């Protein structure tokens, strides 16, 4: 939703909006849609000028913005929320939450709030665990449906093998993991650890399982091996649906499945059949009907499947998860895969995290351990189940609801050790992470080049695995203005200079890995007119698309001086004369771009990254990586796109880069700062990450956890 713009208040006044709505929008920074909803609710309730009602609705919207399904009506909680947009001063002490809650109790807001969930009012008041909570109808119904479906799933027996003969399951696991394993990029057999084997085995033994793990722990490999086992047990491709919250996530898992299957050698009939599985977004699987704003598949019209495997489940909000579980047949196998420690969903509710909360450890009954021992593949003795410290019997007295239904993958095969160490401290909310970073501070000097232009002198090549670039000491303002006279007023020149320095290191110089510099690849790669048939053109295009994820600047914000837009502008301004000095339009050769809207006909999805290249004919085209090889598109045939040398952490989910520069905003009170967003940004990096930000900002991010209720 767009945030407050200066002219929006005038626009609303022209529409005759009541002062209460304008007040809520101006003081709380509500989105335009939310502020108009406040207006409509108050007008329909006959109290358009009731500031107390506007304050209460504003608090509910702010709770939704923080990811919560409801607003707990506790005086301390309400006071904190009110003070976030009505801070007390000496002249104005601010509204009293006690008086607001007393007015609610007296029935002052009964025109739009009811304790009866069947009442035709927009807001529902419910008491849960002794705490009264306000819900919008939509979220109350989603929470109730979600709870009912989860209760039904958890009431079923934990163990329900995909085949009644455990010996057949063991044979399938042995063939998939030992006799004919998938292989890595070097052609070596992929060696599964005990946790991964247990995840595959339990997905075959239980009809409801959650698998959680961070980037690089092998979740995708688990999915591929699970599919191969199901195929060998007689499950047909039509029995299985694979879902993901976004088109890009669905495309990635499909590409990974096909790449992994081909790596195992000549395809047998069981693996060949799996090529027919096409992962899709939840909206496409449930057949969303825009004209009715609902789904075709519901509890009364469930999906015709035996198994549903959902990837990136941690990105799914409560409303969409409720719809998905409603449409899943009661007897279908359900496997949910995600990362409980990453950012919560954009919309309200975080059902994945609620099921397997932070700090919870898996627990297994003696029956589950016995079943695992019986199906454990050859070459990995059953003793390893306990020796690995990941699978062991748990006494019934200490069991929790997800016993036998939750596997946590923790062994990281992707990120450098220092990145993993810092990410673990951040995820635990451990402020010693700041002290851990102190000796890893990256020095930055302000120098002038031969022409007298100020430069940010940062030795990015010595960054190592983790470095901290502190921003407490920008150069003098006059020097900055002299250094970047063409910088837009919203972009602090200090950041522009650092962005230029980063761009020079990552795109003009040779990488530390010994690969060829980006600018050399750009000069050699000519954009083909359509299909890339020439071996030389294919080789040069493959080289450049393989380098797309060498480096990325990640921001917390999208707009503003520390946002992705400003950083992209600074990097583009610096790189254009070096990569494509003859360019005159908005695009230039070597410019990294990101699709921002799905185009199923073109096979391009929101978040997909490509590169602009110039052909022999002078025309610019975009080249995107595909499993079968790079594919070129005319620019006018692309769906909407944007520059992507920098992107937000939210947009980067599911991606990985060799080197990351993570840019934190200077305000410790920035609402988006949290340990989840810091953890997610850190774990995008494989080899090295540089964090730029002040000490107080780092502390604020680590201390603040977004725990959706």
Instruction: Work out the angle at residue 489's Cα, subtended by the Cα atoms of residues 593 and 31, and round it to the nearest 5 degrees.
Output: 70
pLDDT (0 to 100) of residue 15: 42
Question: pLDDT digit string (tens) for 56-88?
Answer: 898 899 888 888 899 998 888 888 888 777 777
Which residues lie below 8 Å from residue 37, measured CB to CB, with a gap of 6+? 57, 61
Which residues lie below 8 Å from residue 470, measured CB to CB, with a gap of 6+? 441, 692, 693, 694, 695
pLDDT (0 to 100) of residue 414: 79
Whether the pLDDT of residue 158 is over 90: the answer is no
Whether the pLDDT of residue 11 is over 80: the answer is no
Please report which residue ranges of 504-648 form alpha helices under DSSP H.
518-524, 535-546, 564-579
Q: Which of 318, 302, 303, 299 is nearest to 245 (CA)?
A: 318
Strand partners, 409: 213
pLDDT (0 to 100) of residue 209: 93
Whether the pLDDT of residue 382 is over 70: the answer is no
pLDDT (0 to 100) of residue 404: 86
Distances (CA, A) of 512 to 143, 185, 459, 646: 50, 21, 12, 20
Edge-to-edge strands, sheet with 657-663: 466-469, 685-692, 657-663, 551-555, 646-648
- Using CA atoms, how far apart are residues 550 and 511, in angstroms rounded to an integer? 9
Whether the pLDDT of residue 491 is over 50: the answer is no
Which residues lie below 8 Å from residue 485, measured CB to CB, with a gap of 6+? none
Element holding 154 (H helix, E strand): helix 137-155
- Using CA atoms, how far apart are residues 418 and 421, in angstroms rounded to an integer? 5
Q: Which of 98, 59, 61, 94 is nearest to 76 (CA)?
A: 98
Backbone angles phi, psi at 479, to 5 degrees: -65, -40
| Mean pLDDT for all residues in the chain | 83
Q: How confident is the model at residue 413 (pLDDT cuts 50, 70, 90)?
A: confident
Q: Which of 346-360, 375-389, 649-663 is predicted with the least confidence, judged by mean pLDDT?
A: 375-389
- Using CA atoms, how far apart are residues 146 and 62, in angstroms rounded to an integer? 22
- 10 Å CB burial of residue 389 (0-12, 13-18, 19+) is exposed
What stretches of 449-573 adopt beta strand conformation (E)?
A: 454-458, 466-469, 551-555
The rounded percent of the chain whose pLDDT value lies above 70 is 86
DSSP state of 462: G
Q: Which of 265-279, 473-487, 588-602, 642-656 is predicted with the least confidence, judged by mean pLDDT?
A: 473-487
pLDDT (0 to 100) of residue 18: 57
Q: How confident is the model at residue 394 (pLDDT cuts 50, 70, 90)?
A: very low
Q: Which residue has the higher pLDDT, 291 or 4?
A: 291
Strand partners, 455: 447
- Using CA atoms, how far apart are residues 132 and 74, in angstroms rounded to an integer? 8
Is the CB of residue 59 less than 8 Å from the CB of residue 81? yes
Structure tokens at 194: 């005990």
pLDDT (0 to 100) of residue 34: 85
pLDDT (0 to 100) of residue 528: 60
- Using CA atoms, how far apart are residues 680 and 683, in angstroms rounded to an integer? 5
DSSP state of 239: G
Q: Which of 309, 318, 373 is nearest to 351 (CA)?
A: 318
Please report which residue ranges of 3-125 form alpha helices under DSSP H.
8-14, 19-28, 32-44, 51-65, 75-85, 97-106
- Range of 181-195, 207-221, 340-354 with top mean pLDDT: 207-221
Q: Which residue has the higher pLDDT, 525 or 82?
A: 82
Mean pLDDT of 631-635: 88
Question: pLDDT digit string (tens) for 298-352?
Answer: 999 999 999 999 999 999 999 999 999 999 999 999 999 998 888 888 888 888 8
The domains found in the chain, sorted by start residue, are 6-110 (no CATH), 156-409 (3.40.50.300), 417-585+646-703 (3.40.50.300)
361 CA to centre of own chain: 23
Q: Which of 397, 314, 408, 393 is nearest to 361 (CA)?
A: 408
Q: pTM for this structure?
A: 0.85
Whether the pLDDT of residue 398 is over 80: the answer is no
Whether the pLDDT of residue 402 is over 50: the answer is yes
Structure tokens at 315: 């990105």
Length of the chain, in residues: 709
Q: Which of 447-456, 572-581, 586-595 is predicted with the least confidence, judged by mean pLDDT?
A: 447-456
Q: Which of 251-265, 512-526, 554-568, 633-647 is predicted with the least confidence, judged by mean pLDDT?
A: 512-526
The rounded percent of the chain whose pLDDT value lies above 90 is 31
Helix (H, G, I), strand (E, B) or coil at 183: strand
- 10 Å CB burial of residue 187 (0-12, 13-18, 19+) is exposed
User: First vs last Cα of the chain: how many Å apart?
Assistant: 21
For 626-663, the DSSP string reads -TTS-EEEEGGGSPSEEE-SEEEHHHHTT--EEEEEEE
How would you label 59-83 residue by residue, b for 16+ Cβ within 10 Å and e otherwise? bbbbbbbbbbbbbbbeeeebbebbe
Question: pLDDT digit string (tens) for 658-704?
Answer: 999 999 998 888 888 888 999 999 999 988 899 998 889 999 999 98
């Amino acid at each position: 939703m767009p945030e407050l713009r200066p002219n929006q208040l005038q626009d609303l006044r022209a529409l005759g909006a009541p002062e209460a709505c304008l007040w809520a929008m101006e003081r709380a920074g509500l989105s335009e849609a939310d502020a108009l909803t406040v207006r409509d609710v108050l007008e329909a309730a006959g109290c358009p000028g009731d500031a107390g009602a506007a304050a209460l609705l504003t608090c509910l919207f702010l709770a939704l913005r923080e990811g919560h399904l409801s607003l707990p009506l506790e005086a301390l909680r309400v006071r904190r929320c009110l003070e976030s947009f009505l801070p007390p001063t000496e002249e104005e002490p601010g509204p009293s939450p006690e008086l607001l809650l007393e007015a609610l109790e007296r029935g002052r807001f009964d025109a739009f709030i009811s304790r009866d969930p069947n009442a035709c009012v927009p807001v529902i008041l419910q008491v849960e665990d002794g705490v009264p909570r306000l819900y919008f109808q939509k979220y109350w119904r989603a929470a109730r449906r979600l709870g009912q479906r989860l209760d039904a799933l958890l009431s079923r027996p934990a163990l329900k093998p995909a085949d009644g003969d455990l010996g057949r399951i063991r044979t399938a696991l042995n063939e998939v993991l030992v006799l004919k394993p998938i292989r890595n990029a070097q052609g070596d057999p992929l060696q599964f650890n005990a946790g991964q084997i247990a995840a595959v085995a339990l997905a075959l033994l239980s009809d409801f399982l959650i698998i959680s793990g961070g980037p690089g722990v092998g979740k995708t490999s688990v999915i591929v091996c699970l599919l191969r086992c199901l195929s060998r047990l007689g499950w047909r491709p039509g029995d299985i649906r694979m879902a993901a919250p976004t088109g890009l996530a669905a495309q990635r898992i499909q590409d990974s499945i096909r790449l992994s299957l081909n790596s195992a050698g000549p395809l047998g009939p069981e693996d060949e059949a799996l090529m027919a599985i096409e992962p899709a977004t939840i909206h496409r699987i449930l057949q969303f009907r825009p004209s009715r704003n609902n789904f075709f598949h519901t509890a009364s019209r469930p999906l015709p499947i035996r198994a549903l495997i959902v990837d990136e489940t941690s990105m799914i909000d409560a409303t969409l998860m409720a719809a998905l579980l409603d449409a899943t047949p009661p007897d279908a196998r359900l496997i949910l895969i995600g990362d409980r420690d990453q950012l919560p969903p954009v919309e309200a509710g975080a059902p994945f995290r609620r099921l397997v909360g932070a700090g919870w450890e898996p627990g297994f009954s003696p029956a589950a351990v016995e079943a695992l021992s019986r199906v454990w593949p050859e070459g990995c003795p059953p003793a390893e189940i306990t020796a690995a410290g990941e699978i062991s019997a748990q006494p019934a007295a200490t069991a929790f609801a997800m016993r036998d239904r939750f596997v946590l993958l923790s062994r990281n095969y992707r990120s450098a050790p220092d990145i993993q160490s810092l990410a673990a401290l951040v995820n635990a909310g451990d402020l010693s992470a700041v002290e851990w970073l102190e000796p890893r501070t990256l020095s930055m000097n302000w120098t002038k080049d031969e022409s007298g232009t100020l430069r940010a002198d940062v030795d990015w090549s010595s960054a190592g695995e983790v470095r901290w670039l502190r921003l407490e000491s920008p150069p003098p303002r006059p020097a900055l203005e002299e250094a970047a006279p063409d910088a837009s007023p919203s972009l602090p020149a200090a950041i522009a200079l650092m962005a230029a320095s980063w761009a020079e290191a990552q795109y003009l110089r040779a990488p530390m890995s010994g690969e060829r510099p980006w600018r050399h690849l750009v000069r050699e790669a000519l954009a083909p007119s359509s299909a890339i048939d020439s071996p030389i053109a294919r080789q040069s295009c493959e080289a450049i698309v393989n380098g797309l994820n060498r480096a990325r600047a990640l921001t917390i914000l999208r707009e503003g001086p520390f946002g992705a837009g400003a950083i992209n502008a600074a990097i583009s301004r610096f790189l254009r004369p070096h990569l494509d000095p003859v360019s005159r339009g908005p695009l230039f050769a070597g410019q990294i771009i990101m699709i921002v809207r799905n185009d199923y006909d073109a096979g391009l999805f929101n978040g997909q990254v490509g590169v602009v290249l110039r052909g022999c004919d002078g025309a610019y085209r975009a080249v995107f990586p595909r499993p079968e090889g790079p594919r070129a598109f005319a620019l006018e045939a692309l769906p909407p796109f944007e520059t992507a040398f920098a992107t937000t952490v939210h947009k980067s989910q599911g991606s990985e880069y060799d080197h990351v520069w993570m840019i934190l905003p200077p305000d410790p009170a920035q609402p988006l700062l949290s340990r989840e967003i810091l953890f997610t940004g850190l774990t995008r990096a494989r080899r090295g990450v540089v964090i730029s930000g002040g000490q107080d900002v780092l502390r604020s991010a680590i201390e603040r956890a977004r725990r959706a209720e």
